[in-house]
Structure 1
């Protein structure tokens, strides 16, 4: 029977069925592609096999999976075929199966590069995923009995038929593997974006926040570097944060000057995709020679351009796919929003600090300055009385004692103000209960433990604002006093909004109890303050 006939298909149907099952069993894309080329090589009885992955945008080969060729031979051959010349180029252009008995005798052949193994017969089959050509199977050197006319074994129409069936099933398997890989990559990008957002909203400085964005993006994109550029006053863009596998110091400060072809797009908030940074005429920086494929993505939110996220890969690295570009663009949008929110949070914290400082300044003016002025007047009066000799020593001693008491109270108020300044800044709570809890939480950083707080009654509804402010002042003073005493290991704060004064009026009572040592050597101190409601 002629080698062109289909009589040899039937004996290989079990092998074809097994091959079809095999190519559909792997979900990891690279493993699936290697399995497809190995299976096709065995099914067709070829010595060498290859599967070239085609870039749909550029029309060239981006990856090549081989069978029958060892690593040393692949390294000797070197670069990938360009996909535009020879039988491979013809198959890419025509997108139809190709059967060649003798490659050297075919006018479409462009020959083999130096170091490439000698090959004679050839068969090529496109692999389609849906309607798109994903890649091509190339098989060479049919193993078996020599053909009478060709002088060597050649691939037959039966081989071609089997390979077309296998390629059809491979397209389905590749489609599933691509969906699986895209889902996994999307999951990684989403997790990375969430981690980045969490880090930005936990209180990092502006410099650390930009570094977090650059590092997370570099890892997710498998880039050689992740850099963030921001506009300069001169109208250019400067690298302000960089993450690389080695020292990024030489990247920091690199400026894209005004007039650069790529700058107008970046300042306009447009993404820029570059196939080779080293040769692209739009790139003008001194570091461009180090990098190959690159993405430059705007960091903007609400129409505000924060900067640009650039993700260059090494020279000769794989180009970014359409999925890479989409996922990285989505990451950049979320990172920009997180940066804006982090900046807003820092503004709120600064505002809360300023409000705290204003409150403390009012406390110092209302309590401390007035007491100092009163004490000054008291001492001046004492000096005059002593000069006129109209007062007895006992009277003068009482006046001086009162002055000393006022100075002691003033010192206490100053210490209370200092204690309030040492508390961590945070947004001031709106409720009285929240402000009490904030004061005790701030005291915990100095005391070394958290004071216990107990409320009785609806304090937020019953305690008016003026009384609440005075209670907080007294509370700060009592906590500061507890901090000064030796051996304090516990502080209990009680606020009773159902208390009553001695005359029966409704009142709020603040009680602060600690177990510190007093000047008299006793353990435990209780301070109480009451105000009518």
Structure 2
């Protein structure tokens, strides 16, 4: 039987040798040491080395995952968009050991509207000059929003080189940052330290960070929008309270708050008095506000006119390029918002908000909030107009009462006194006293004529919406009162509403408006008088101020228009110095 059958295990040595090595037999020969073959020892060393390498990889991977978790916590720890964007770049650089990093925010037109960078000293950034706008390799990532990894930027066909004073950069890793389904921007990382290249693991880590960054950016944007919306609503409430409380100069408050909330460099309110062919810069605030105030803007060919006529908000990225010369507020302006004032009773108009060329563009969210604000502004203006109309009715009723009392009581008494004095003068025997009595009678006659003219004026201005020529002239005068800071004195003589035809009346209104506008712009007057007469078959208008005088009149097209209107009707026009300085404009035409 073999060894297996007997249950014995063969040792490969004779039995005598086996018996000699039994335990307890110290005289026997020691056993030979166990030894592994050289090939087996090599395989074991390699396995142990691989285990160590794998363990090192696991430790490094675990460390990088901990770094990713820490970066994610850091990124989502703040709700300020500006802070979030910078933290994303800083954490991405630390995560993959990159020397330089940047985040480019993509505008609607495709270029980079914002570029947040880390790793460079401010003095170096200042030497480099203009920040990237999304060309070359950066533009490739914008056009094709997919991860991009390069060992040498210069070898890419889209590379355009670096500007002067720019530090050398070779390795590159770029990934898009998506907010919901839209690409918000791109994350750029360059120059991995110690001369290494970015790996596929680096790309996966940065992609994971970009996904978390998209959520953090979305939250920050929503929080920022909520805060700004709250500020717009608070401003609307403040303005409404100001108007209801009969606060002074509500338009100034409106335009000032709008400019502050929108972060604009210039703001203005454009208004027209109904279906007009032009808009007026009623109030302006910010850059060049003094120059813009009172400017006339035609409806046709202007951005403001387009927004008002279409009754739709207008968002422009570069107003200096798109606007015509008809938009005075667009000079040097880049981003521009124009929001129409939509109300049932308010005059046509718009709120204009602009930022200097090169500034951050307005967003759709900005436009929505400004449009809601403009709705509140329109309501406030309607309230103001309703209150002004009510006060005007009270004033007109008071004027009507005064006119009635003057006509029925004061004039009758003056007539009686004048007749009595005239009778005394005729009966008086002494010539000197008779002459003095006649002088008193003449003075009374002049007073009666002035009171009669005042009665006509008071009754003619019962309503600003009236169709009579007196009421329309009064409306023109009232419209320019704010430009002067006081109400010009207005006097009528003669049957203006019945003796003047429609054509001559339109010419008269244009002459009064132009004369007052010139005085408001150039005269610097403290007193202005407007006299409209219908006497002896002539219609005349005099605008007299106590300002600085005539000055250079050769370049004033408005005066040429007044002269042309007089000549078209066979009349005359004269511009001379006033009796006490200033300017006296006299326009006269014959009545048909």
TM-score range, shorter chain: 0.5 to 0.7
Match among 171, 179, 189 for residue 232 of structure 2: 189
In structure 2, relative to structure 1, the CA distance for the partners of 1:270 and 1:133 (3 Å cut) is same
1:95 maps to 2:145: yes
Q: Distance in 2 between matches of 1:325 and 1:249?
A: 26
- Give the match for residue 16 of structure 1: 68
SS of 2:168's equivalent in the other structure is coil
Q: CA deviation at 1:351?
A: 2.8
Q: CA deviation at 1:7?
A: 8.8
Q: CA deviation at 1:298?
A: 0.6
Match among 237, 251, 259 for residue 292 of structure 2: 251
Which has more radius of gyration? Answer: 2
- Give the match for residue 342 of structure 2: 300
1:75 maps to 2:131: no
Q: Distance in 2 between matches of 1:336 and 1:234?
A: 18
Which structure 1 segments of 5+ residues have no match? Answer: 145-151, 377-533
Match among 32, 35, 44 for residue 84 of structure 2: 32
Q: Distance in 2 between matches of 1:173 and 1:250?
A: 44
SS of 1:237's equivalent in the other structure is strand
Q: Distance in 1 between matches of 2:83 and 2:227?
A: 15
* TM-score after normalising by structure 2: 0.56
- Give the match for residue 343 of structure 1: 385
Q: CA deviation at 1:170?
A: 0.8
1:289 maps to 2:331: yes
1:114-263 alignment to 2 at 5 Å?
114-144=164-194, 152-204=195-247, 208-231=249-272, 235-244=277-286, 248-257=289-298, 259-262=300-303, 263=305
- Give the match for residue 464 of structure 1: none
Could you tell me whether the CA contact under 8 Å between 2:307 and 2:338 is conserved in 1? no
- Give the match for residue 53 of structure 1: 105
CA shift digits 1:425-478 (9 cap, x unpaired): xxxxxxxxxxxxxxxxxxxxxxxxxxxxxxxxxxxxxxxxxxxxxxxxxxxxxx
SS of 1:9's equivalent in the other structure is helix
Q: CA deviation at 1:360?
A: 8.9
Could you tell me whether the CA contact under 8 Å between 2:97 and 2:193 is conserved in 1? yes
- Give the match for residue 314 of structure 2: 272
How big is the alpha-carbon RMSD for the aligned residues of Structure 1 and Structure 2?
3.0
Q: CA deviation at 1:242?
A: 0.5
Q: CA deviation at 1:100?
A: 0.7
CA shift digits 1:468-494 (9 cap, x unpaired): xxxxxxxxxxxxxxxxxxxxxxxxxxx
- Give the match for residue 393 of structure 1: none
Q: Distance in 2 between matches of 1:231 and 1:204?
A: 23
SS of 2:320's equivalent in the other structure is coil
- Give the match for residue 357 of structure 2: 315
- Give the match for residue 93 of structure 2: 41
Could you tell me whether the CA contact under 8 Å between 1:295 and 1:310 is conserved in 2? yes
In structure 2, relative to structure 1, the CA distance for the partners of 1:369 and 1:252 (3 Å cut) is closer
Q: CA deviation at 1:289?
A: 2.6
- Give the match for residue 104 of structure 1: 154
* TM-score after normalising by structure 1: 0.62
Q: Distance in 1 between matches of 2:111 and 2:354?
A: 21
Q: CA deviation at 1:254?
A: 2.5
Could you tell me whether the CA contact under 8 Å between 1:298 and 1:305 is conserved in 2? no
Per chain length, whose mean CA-contact separation is higher, i.e. which structure has more relative contact order (CA < 8 Å, sep 6+)? 1
Which structure 2 segments of 5+ residues have no match? Answer: 1-52, 417-592
Q: Distance in 1 between matches of 2:154 and 2:347?
A: 58
Could you tell me whether the CA contact under 8 Å between 1:255 and 1:285 is conserved in 2? no
Q: Distance in 1 between matches of 2:306 and 2:80?
A: 40
- Give the match for residue 516 of structure 2: none
In structure 2, relative to structure 1, the CA distance for the partners of 1:281 and 1:225 (3 Å cut) is closer
- Give the match for residue 328 of structure 1: 370
In structure 2, relative to structure 1, the CA distance for the partners of 1:20 and 1:225 (3 Å cut) is same
Q: Distance in 2 between matches of 1:339 and 1:287?
A: 22
SS of 2:292's equivalent in the other structure is coil
Q: Distance in 2 between matches of 1:12 and 1:113?
A: 34
